[in-house]
Amino acid sequence: MELRCQFQSYAWGKCSNDSIVATLMKPSNPDAILDEKTPYAELWMGTHPNGPSFLKDENKPLDEYITQNKESLGNAVLQKFGPQLPFLFKVLSISKALSIQLHPNKKQAERLHQSQPNVYKDSNHKPEMAIALTPFEALCGFRPIAEIKTYLQAIPELSAIVGEDIILELTPVSETSLNLSLKKCFQSLMSCEESIVAHQLKILIDRISILDQFTRQTLNASLLERLYADYPGDVGCFGIYFFNYITLQPGEAMYLEPNEPHAYLSGDCIECMACSDNVVRAGLTPKLKDIKTLLEMLNYKCESGSAKRFQPSREDECTEIFRPPVPDFAVTRITVPPGRASYTLIPRTVGSILIIVNGKAEITSSPPKILNRGSVLFIPAKERINIKVLCGCHPMLMFQAFVNV
């Protein structure tokens, strides 16, 4: 069943000519007129009430169809989650940084929703995974403590905010003291008066503009200047010295567990998450910042940037699966090579959503259906789908999301 999906327009999104979201949403929304000045940031595929998908032919909400056809989800999903789709599938197109943020675990989400329902509007957790479609920049998790300390000692403007005495404490003798000393250090930064942060940032920006190229590279000057141009005076600009800066190449992924600090910076990706919109923000954003909550919930574990990449496993010659350690979702990346005439999707015992990112195909149905770039399908559990490739001179690329049970 082909879906008509909704897009979200946020200030950080890419405008129509550059946005993969814009080019993918057009087939499922043929009446949509793209506005060159509108940022097309996210394409939502699923049943979340802020952007629900509809069956294209019947104009029926997907969640209504699922309620009326519970068996389409599969028995394992019904037993674990009931008659609902527990994940939200997305495409993102990012031109400038999203906020430094984290997502709560289930118990924290329930508590936040109860205490601040206008800010945290549901009680679900939000583990998520991003798979790059283009070179994709992000901040993810705390750097190794030695890297953080090197930056603090090399950047007087940052050490002036954190405090020399607190920096000296970053020589832990155990993992427990490591976490506590890093927590104290990061809290000192995030709790500093905005005027002091803005003043020190301005001094640093002026200073790095005249440094030699080697020193500029050492201090990530170009990245700092880019973030500062979009968010002048924002404490999140200093986040690049605390968090791993990574670039994913197309097909590479990262998984974000609850309470892991992160910020997407640029690029396009496939994203899948538990069906929630809970975000705790603390920087690089004009939106509400809940620094107190973020500092209380943060995971202060330090790892190298290479450890943040999430590896798939191969299911067959065309399909690799990204299976995170949560039951809410898994995602496959399906690549049909040039010259191959057809491919049968691996049958799933659970319902799934499939999006075609590149290529054109005909699927076995009655009557046969032609799918183009941007076509989105809901596939009921145990359905067998054979794809006949109609343009075999380039690889056909698809992503499929389903419940990880």
What contacts 24+ positions apart, CB below 8 Å, involve 22-30? 22/93, 23/373, 23/374, 24/91, 24/355, 24/357, 24/373, 24/374, 25/374, 26/374, 27/372, 27/373, 27/374, 27/375, 28/2, 28/3, 28/4, 28/56, 28/374, 28/375, 28/376, 29/4, 29/5
* Alpha-carbon dihedral 257, 263, 269, 274, rounded to 10 degrees: 30
Give helix 194-208 / helix 221-230 axis angle, nearest 10°. Answer: 130
Return the number of other C-beta atoms located less than 10 Å from residue 60's C-beta. Answer: 13
Q: Using an 8 Å Cβ cutoff, are 361 and 371 in contact? A: yes
The residue from 4, 281, 333, 348 that is catalytic is 281
Region of 387 (left: φ > 0; alpha: ψ -120 to 50; beta: rest) is beta
Catalytic, 207? Answer no
C-alpha 143/C-alpha 3 separation (Å) is 41
C-alpha 382/C-alpha 343 separation (Å) is 16
The residues assigned a catalytic role are 281
